[in-house]
């Protein structure tokens, strides 16, 4: 796909629309085309190059058989994150990020194991003989909470090779944990984000569904292509 085609697609998705100047983070200044009615306009020629670099990175990870974690918990786009991750059979966090998901992964694995164990016991009917009706109800509620928190990362056996994030500011804790562990971050980030420490920032509107969808579709497609080349 040519750069002009990508730029046109980004423009049609509304990816060029940033936030008002008072919200602008200093790290994005060089990535802007200008401003209109007080709203920052993102230079999509630079965004297209950033997206190309991000795509190349995930394609290589796919070729190496690496795991990529998708993160994005904002209600308006969470379903898009789930869809993109599911297409490439990758783990995801599309509800609240639990502190320590990466930096305290040993403990997180214990919670995942507990979730799997309860799921298996319920499926086999083992709990009927062991517990009272009230106790089973409490275990059902526990399992519901565990699935809500860890269902998307149930298959995550070890730390991911990279993290794909929608809105680095909203997912600041996830980004901080990844950077601390030297896990590369590929992030869709609007003009209010600090992109200075992100390995592969893609500056674009990170709230508009079409913009988010284009970013995630592009990343998932590149990752899938890499996986096919293993």
Q: Looking at 138, 153, 168, which one is the last position of a domain?
A: 153
Work out how many domains the chain is built from and give that number: 2
Q: Give the pLDDT band of residue 3 (cuts 50, 70, 90).
A: confident
Does residue 87 share a domain with residue 199? yes
CA neighbor of 178 nearest in space, from 73, 91, 17, 69:
69
Does residue 114 share a domain with residue 95? no
Does residue 175 share a domain with residue 84? yes
Does residue 93 share a domain with residue 48? yes
Q: Tell me the DSSP string of 92-157.
A: EE-SPPPTTTTTTHHHHHHHHHHHHHHHHHHHHTTHHHHS-HHHHHHHHHHHHHHHHHHGGGTT--
Does residue 13 share a domain with residue 61? yes
The domain in which residue 42 lies consists of 3-101+159-228
Does residue 219 share a domain with residue 148? no
C-alpha of 152 from chain center? 11
35 or 161, greater pLDDT: 161
| pLDDT (tens digit per residue) in 193-206 | 999 999 999 999 99
Does residue 217 share a domain with residue 164? yes
Does residue 92 share a domain with residue 14? yes
% the chain with pLDDT above 90: 90
Phi, psi of 164 (to 5 degrees): -100, 120
| pLDDT (tens digit per residue) in 67-93 | 999 999 999 999 999 999 999 999 999
State which H helix or E strand residue 213 sits in: helix 209-228
Does residue 142 share a domain with residue 89? no
Does residue 17 share a domain with residue 89? yes
| pLDDT (tens digit per residue) in 114-136 | 999 999 988 888 777 788 889 98
Does residue 73 share a domain with residue 36? yes
Check which CATH number belongs to the domain holding 26 and give it: 3.40.50.10490
pTM of the model: 0.94
Does residue 116 share a domain with residue 208? no
């Amino acid at each position: 796909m040519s750069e002009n085609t990508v730029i046109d697609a980004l423009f049609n998705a509304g990816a060029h629309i940033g936030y008002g100047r008072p919200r602008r983070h200093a790290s994005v200044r060089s990535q802007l085309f200008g401003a209109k009615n007080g709203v920052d306009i993102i230079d999509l020629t630079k965004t297209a190059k950033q997206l190309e670099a991000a795509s190349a990175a995930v394609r290589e990870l796919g070729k190496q058989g690496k795991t990529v974690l998708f993160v994005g918990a904002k209600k308006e786009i969470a379903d898009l994150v789930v869809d993109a991750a599911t297409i490439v059979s990758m783990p995801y966090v599309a509800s609240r990020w639990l502190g320590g998901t990466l930096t305290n992964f040993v403990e997180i694995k214990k919670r995942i194991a507990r979730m799997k164990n309860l799921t298996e016991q319920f499926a086999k009917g083992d709990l009927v003989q062991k517990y009272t009706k009230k106790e089973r109800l409490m275990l059902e509620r526990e399992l519901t909470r565990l699935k809500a928190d860890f269902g998307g990362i149930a298959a995550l056996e070890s730390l991911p090779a990279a993290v794909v994030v929608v809105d680095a500011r909203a997912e600041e804790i996830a980004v901080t944990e990844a950077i601390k562990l030297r896990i590369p971050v590929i992030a869709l980030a609007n003009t209010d984000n600090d992109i200075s420490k992100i390995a592969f920032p893609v500056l674009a509107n990170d709230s508009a569904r079409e913009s988010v969808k284009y970013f995630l579709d592009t990343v998932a497609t590149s990752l899938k292509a890499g996986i096919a080349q293993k």
